[in-house]
């Protein structure tokens, strides 16, 4: 099991966009994504994100792209956003070489804490591709539950990837944040 250095957390700025795109692509697509367990290469081809999308998340009100770094090296990232009384969690990426060592749990916990402190969020919500059973189980072990809500995959929009299957859709998960350390 890999170990990870204790990260420093900070909000991303526009200058971080290229490094974020590289990290997200490395965790989900291509050959490097196969080294970790979060790859989506069996479901999607093409890009996972792009510079414009990441920059929009950084600039959006009520939105934070959270970075986990060590000695100036980007280890992991995620996006959190205020959506009414809840926070939304997405664009979660951990360097493939550091997966399975606890860094992901640490980043998720920091995102939950930040959403509660920053926005007084009472819950954290996310969407996950339904066919990612192992990932859904990982979130369930961290207190998330399927809500029964679904959303169709954005077929025909290569900005979100090129589907290799015609049955993709998103399921929603939620976790109450009461009791998350502030």
Residue 161 lies in a domain: yes
Cα gap 154→169, rounded to integer Å: 8
Residue 164 confidence class, pLDDT cut points 50, 70, 90? confident
For residue 182, the model assigns a pLDDT of 46
Long-range (24+ apart) CB contacts under 8 A made by 140-149 are 140/173, 142/105, 142/108, 142/175, 143/175, 143/176, 144/173, 144/174, 144/175, 145/173, 145/174, 145/175, 146/171, 146/172, 146/173, 147/171, 147/172, 147/173, 147/174, 148/172
Please compute the mean of the pLDDT values over residues 81-110 and round it to a whole number.
91
Residue 1 confidence class, pLDDT cut points 50, 70, 90? very low
For residue 110, the model assigns a pLDDT of 97
For residue 33, the model assigns a pLDDT of 43
Cα gap 160→47, rounded to integer Å: 7
Residue 29 confidence class, pLDDT cut points 50, 70, 90? low
Residue 169 confidence class, pLDDT cut points 50, 70, 90? very high
- In this prediction the pTM is 0.89
Residue 99 lies in a domain: yes
In terms of residue numbers, what domain contains 49?
A: 8-176
The tokens of 27 are what? 């965790």
Please compute the mean of the pLDDT values over residues 10-29 and round it to a whole number.
92
Number of domains in the chain: 1
Cα gap 30→21, rounded to integer Å: 13
Residue 1 lies in a domain: no
Judge whether 98 and 2 are in contact, CB under 8 Å: yes
Long-range (24+ apart) CB contacts under 8 A made by 108-111 are 108/78, 108/142, 109/180, 110/9, 110/66, 110/68, 111/66, 111/78, 111/80, 111/87
Please compute the mean of the pLDDT values over residues 120-147 and round it to a whole number.
95
Cα gap 152→89, rounded to integer Å: 18
Residue 75 lies in a domain: yes
User: E strands within the chain?
Assistant: 8-11, 44-45, 63-70, 73-83, 86-94, 123-129, 145-152, 162-163, 169-176
CATH code of the domain containing 132 = 3.40.630.30
Residue 182 lies in a domain: no
Please compute the mean of the pLDDT values over residues 100-121 and round it to a whole number.
93
For 30-60, write each residue's pLDDT tens digit: 554 444 555 666 777 667 788 999 999 999 9
Residue 63 lies in a domain: yes
């Amino acid at each position: 099991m890999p170990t990870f250095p204790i990260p420093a957390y900070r909000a991303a700025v526009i200058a971080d966009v290229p490094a974020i795109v590289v990290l997200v692509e490395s965790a989900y697509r291509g050959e490097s994504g196969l080294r970790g367990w979060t790859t989506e290469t069996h479901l999607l081809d093409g890009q996972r994100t792009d510079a414009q999308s990441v920059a929009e998340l950084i600039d959006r009100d009520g939105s934070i792209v959270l970075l986990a770094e060590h000695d100036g090296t980007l280890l992991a990232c995620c996006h959190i956003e205020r959506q009414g009384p809840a926070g939304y969690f997405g664009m979660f990426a951990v360097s493939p070489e550091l997966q399975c060592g606890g860094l992901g749990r640490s980043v998720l916990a920091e995102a939950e804490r930040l959403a509660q402190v920053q926005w007084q969020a009472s819950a954290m919500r996310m969407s996950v591709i339904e066919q990612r059973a192992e990932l859904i189980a990982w979130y369930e072990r961290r207190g998330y539950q399927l809500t029964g809500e679904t959303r169709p995959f954005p077929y025909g929009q290569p900005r979100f990837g090129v589907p290799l299957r015609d049955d993709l859709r998103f399921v929603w998960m939620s976790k109450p944040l009461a009791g998350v350390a502030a």
